Every structure is written in structure tokens, then in C-alpha cells.
Amino acid sequence: MSDNHTYQPIGVIHTQFTSLKDTPVQGVFAPESRGKVEIFEEFAAGVKDLDTFSHIILLYSFHQSSDYELVSQPMLQDEPHGIFAMRHFNRPNAIGLSVVKLEKINGNLIEISGVDILDKTPILDIKPFIPMFDNRSNASNGWVKPPHMDDIKQETVKRSKQN
């Protein structure tokens, strides 16, 4: 049960963001930020009908992550929290998740917007975002309170404009 699990990327994500510190924190606050998911040819047939969806879920490797701490202070925050109560990229298994808007598919290139992902990020999986399955309109924000949310939004807008 604690065997390792090994995955081979199905493609690579191209964006304008080349450094961690200039990458938007959350894509939902950077709707203008664009990118392309290049699916390797051997997997390209798998995108059939993906463009019937308006939004998609990307699972990818946080390829510039480094050592994690189990408990630490999130960015722009004073209180320490557990790593599984945060979205930080330095985590035990550095897998990233983003919901992005699908703009268009050209062959093996998926054009996306609302992007908070570093350039050259290896992509592991794509799933359709299905509102009935994935939205939780009644969910709470936990420790992520409005002032902290505003900080994340401002920081994201700043980063997405300077690129």
C-alpha cells in the first residue's frame, strides 16, 4: 500500500511565467492570463471531445518545488498551518491542481486561460471539469478568511500584469 507510484507526463504546459515569484497565485483571479497545453503526439487522440467543456482540470508536477515543511506559514499569512490545509507547491507529493478555462483546441495544443502555472510544467492528467460533480456551492473557506483572500487576489493581479 505504500509502494511508490510512477507517472510519465502526457505533455507540457507553456505559459509566459518563467519564475515562481512572478506566477499568479490563483488562476481564478487572472482570467486574462493565457497558456497552452501541448499534449505529446502519442496521447493526442485522448483529447477528443474535450472541447465540449468550458473548463478543465489540470494535474501536473510542481517541477520547481523544493523541500516541504509539514507545518509552516503560508505566503502572505502570519499563522502556521498544515501543508494539507494549504495549496503551497512545496508538499510531500508535489502534484499541482488547476481549474482553467478551455479556449480552443488545435490538434495537440489546448489553449487555456486563467492560468497560474509555470512555463515548462510537466502535465500528468487532464479531466473535464463537470459542474455537477465538482462544484460545492455550500463549501466553507476554512482559515482562508476575506483579508487573506484579498491579499492573494491583489498579488495575483499584480503578477499577471507584470508579465
What residue ranges bind a second copy (CB under 8 A)? 1-10, 12, 26, 28, 39-40, 43, 45-50, 52-57, 59, 61, 70-71, 80-87, 91-93, 95, 97, 99, 120, 122, 124-144, 149
CB closer to a second copy out of 21 and 136: 136
Contacts 24+ apart (CB under 8 A), 83-88: 85/142, 85/143, 87/26
To the nearest whole angstrom, how small is the minimum distance from the Cβ of residue 134 to a second copy?
A: 6
Separation CA 110–CA 41 (nearest Å): 13
To the nearest whole angstrom, how small is the minimum distance from the Cβ of residue 89 to a second copy?
A: 11
CB closer to a second copy out of 127 and 163: 127
Separation CA 76–CA 33 (nearest Å): 22
To the nearest whole angstrom, how small is the minimum distance from the Cβ of residue 83 to a second copy?
A: 4
To the nearest whole angstrom, how small is the minimum distance from the Cβ of residue 146 to a second copy?
A: 10
Separation CA 85–CA 88 (nearest Å): 9
CB closer to a second copy out of 20 and 82: 82
Mention every residue, 6+ apart, whose C-beta is less than 8 A from residue 42.
none
> How is residue 103 annotated by DSSP?
E
Pairing type for strands 55-61 and 95-106 reads antiparallel
CB closer to a second copy out of 20 and 130: 130
